[in-house]
Amino acid sequence: MQTTEAIRERHTLKMLAETPWPTQTPSSLATARLLPELCALAGWAPFHQPCHSSHRKAGLDALAPWRFYLLDADGCRRLADFLARSGRDAGKLLPMLWAADALVQATWLPNPPEPGTTGLFEADMANMEHLAAASAAVQNMLLAATDAGLNNYWSSGGLLREAWALEHLGIPTGELLLASVFLFPNEAQGPCLRMPGKLREKRGQWDQWARWARWARWASPNEQAAESGSRQG
Ligand SMILES: Cc1cc2nc3c(=O)[nH]c(=O)nc-3n(C[C@H](O)[C@H](O)[C@H](O)COP(=O)(O)O)c2cc1C
């Protein structure tokens, strides 16, 4: 698949299974084998700042400001069982974990906050760039999954971003969950509901989020007038 095709083809698709799908399917086994490559491709994202040394732990000691924690289809079903037994209201999470070939918990690595900082993280330039870089890595993963024919969904995580879930999945405190990436099989393995992203068709057109800037040759007469106005002003 061409890069441009993968960009256009990538779309949110949640698959909600009526009952847990089998785990040792050709699709789920292929996805498990593919996960290391998806992580490697994701990690070609640009990044501007090395992560803080406190995030560089044995084994997970990369400078890059993102980390990925991987569950295969069996892991997804076990997590679903755990959620169901815990009595928590898991909503759509259960049927998605019944359908998923894999779940990737993607975190970004904020610099440790100064004492007295309120909120999730310090709102400074370094953290903005860590978060931006990790987001680029997640998008790379979605594009690579699309290229591999996997349905995918970037979720904020819901229950999966709560402290108990992060702890169970071995995610250190200090890392912030950026995405719960669901990877679903290309072909449904049983009855299911398919849900697209709510905002897919509402994003607008390119000329609603981009314009030629004042010195560009292609600036419209209005923009050129604004330019000469601002030059005179
Ligand atoms: C940072 C981020 C968090 C998201 N979290 C959720 C979520 O929690 N629930 C959800 O339904 N969709 C979530 N989405 C997916 C969006 O709904 C989806 O991308 C949007 O509707 C556009 O559709 P598309 O992905 O098909 O282009 C998230 C997307 C991003 C980038």
pLDDT band at 218 (very low <50, low <70, confident <90, very high): confident
Distance, CA of 16 to CA of 191 (rounded, Å): 9
176, two tokens: 């912030």
C-alpha 164 – ligand 1 centre gap (Å): 23
108, two tokens: 């970004």
Q: Measured in whole angstroms, how far is the alpha carbon of residue 127 from the centre of its chain?
A: 17
Confirm whether pTM is higher than 0.85: yes
Q: What is the pLDDT of residues 67-99, one digit of tens each?
A: 999 999 999 999 999 999 999 999 999 999 999
pLDDT of residue 219: 74
What structural domains and CATH numbers belong to the chain? 3-202 (3.40.109.10), 206-233 (no CATH)
Among protein residues, the one whose CA lies closest to atom 30 of ligand 1: 154
C-alpha 155 – ligand 1 centre gap (Å): 6
Asked whether residue 185 carries a pLDDT value surpassing 80, the answer given is yes
196 CA closest ligand 1 atom index:
26
Question: CA separation (Å) from 107 to 33, 62, 186, 192?
Answer: 22, 13, 26, 29
Asked whether residue 231 carries a pLDDT value surpassing 70, the answer given is no
C-alpha 179 – ligand 1 centre gap (Å): 10
Q: For a pocket test of ligand 1, which of 184, 199, 201 has the largest count of ligand atoms closer than 8 A to its C-beta?
A: 199
